[in-house]
């Protein structure tokens, strides 16, 4: 607490600042302004060098999330039915390799189902407890009771999600994002689209070290409070939201990059290895890499080699949005596809 009994402008672990540090506002601003003044669609790549380990990458993600809350099309409603159809087709073609469990989120009662069939405009599912064969007198026989089917169409697909995925949209007020948690973020003053407080979105991917909330990486993020906000940075990022709560971004660690979809508009890679690997895997995504200069020298040399390798395909961005205001201890370099 500061002398006025209010939450400080920035708190990280045990360090309290009554003014937001310049590097913090720079990182948030970068995420918030990332889409500004761009030529559609030319890939953007950025690299930021910090003097030491920091929460720069999560702060960039916060800025991007704050901007996404303003945009009417930043939600997972569009294309969700198509995603479910692909999941059905993958499951039915090889159920041993693909999970076919879906969750009905229409009401507070959780119903688990699995894919059964359907066509291009309809998906049929059955209760996950249904078995096509039952045991009678020690023998397996066809189940005399046919399956009770549910039907998913585009209009009601938002009430269904794959197991372990975030809810698409919620009518449960207890699961809404709290708008107050996003109104005091420094440098982010656009109007929030309130519909987005009830809708998930996975346009941004943050790649970091540890996924569990008890890991050192996550504990550092959850220790941050900023802009007079009572909630932690981890909470604002919806990093560990439950499956029945709204999620506004995705997260993975370095080992799981290759299993991530390529549909993110922005990938924020925390660390030199994550940055280099992301450039190759997410070819249709913008990538921002953050590394600290206390990483091994060979890691930094790999980044330099990678930038030289791709340089002929890009031009340097000289826009003040990205290049103005950084402190002497922070180096930033941004490129856009030719």
Please state the φ and ψ torsions of residue 205, each to the nearest 5 degrees.
-120, 130
Q: What is the CA radius of gyration of the chain?
A: 23
pLDDT one-digit tens code per residue, 226-259: 877 779 999 999 999 887 789 999 999 999 999 8
Residue 5: pLDDT above 50? no
The domain over range 10-76+170-337 is classified in CATH as 3.40.50: yes
Which of the two residues, 64 and 293, has the higher pLDDT score?
A: 64
pLDDT digits (tens, 9 = 90+) for 299-328: 888 888 888 889 899 999 887 767 777 888
330 class by beta-carbon count within 10 Å (0-12 exposed, 13-18 middle, 19+ buried): middle
CB 34 within 8 A of CB 68: no
The Cα–Cα gap between 169 and 177 comes to 11
**Pairing, β 204-208 against β 250-253:** parallel
330 neighbors 31 (Cβ within 8 angstroms):
no
Structural domain spans, the chain: 10-76+170-337, 80-162
Give the pLDDT confidence of 161-199 residue by residue, as tens digits. 888 788 899 877 778 899 999 998 988 999 999 999 999
Q: How far apart are CA 14 and CA 116, in angstroms?
A: 54
337: which strand partners?
314
């Amino acid at each position: 607490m500061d002398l006025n009994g209010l939450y400080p402008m920035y708190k990280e672990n045990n360090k309290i600042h009554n003014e937001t540090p310049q590097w913090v506002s720079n990182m948030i601003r970068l995420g918030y302004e990332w889409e500004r003044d761009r030529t559609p669609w030319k890939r953007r790549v950025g690299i930021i060098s910090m003097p030491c380990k920091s929460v720069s990458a999560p702060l960039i993600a916060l800025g991007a999330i704050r901007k996404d809350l303003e945009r009417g099309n930043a939600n997972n409603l569009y294309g969700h039915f198509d995603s479910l159809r692909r999941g059905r087709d993958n499951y039915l073609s090889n159920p041993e390799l693909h999970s076919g469990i879906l969750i009905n989120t229409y009401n507070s009662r959780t119903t688990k189902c699995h894919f059964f069939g359907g066509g291009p405009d309809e998906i049929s599912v059955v209760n996950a407890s249904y078995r096509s064969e039952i045991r009678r007198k020690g023998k397996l026989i066809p189940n005399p009771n046919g399956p009770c089917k549910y039907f998913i169409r585009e209009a009601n697909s938002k009430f269904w999600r794959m197991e372990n995925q975030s809810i698409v949209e919620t009518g449960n007020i207890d699961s809404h994002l709290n708008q107050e948690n996003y109104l005091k973020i420094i440098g982010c003053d656009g109007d929030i689209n309130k519909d987005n407080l009830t809708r998930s979105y996975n346009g941004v991917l943050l790649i970091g070290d540890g996924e569990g909330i008890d890991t050192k990486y996550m504990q550092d993020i959850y220790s941050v409070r900023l802009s007079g906000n009572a909630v932690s940075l981890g909470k604002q990022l919806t990093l560990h939201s439950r499956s029945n709560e709204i999620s506004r971004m995705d997260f993975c660690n370095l080992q799981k990059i290759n299993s991530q979809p390529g549909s993110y508009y922005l990938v924020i890679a925390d660390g030199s290895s994550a940055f280099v690997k992301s450039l190759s895997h997410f070819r249709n995504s913008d990538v921002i890499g953050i590394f600290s200069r206390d990483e091994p020298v060979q890691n930094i040399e790999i980044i330099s080699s990678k930038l030289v390798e791709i340089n002929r395909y890009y031009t340097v961005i000289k826009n003040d949005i990205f290049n103005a205001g950084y402190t002497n201890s922070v180096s930033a370099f941004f490129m856009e596809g030719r």
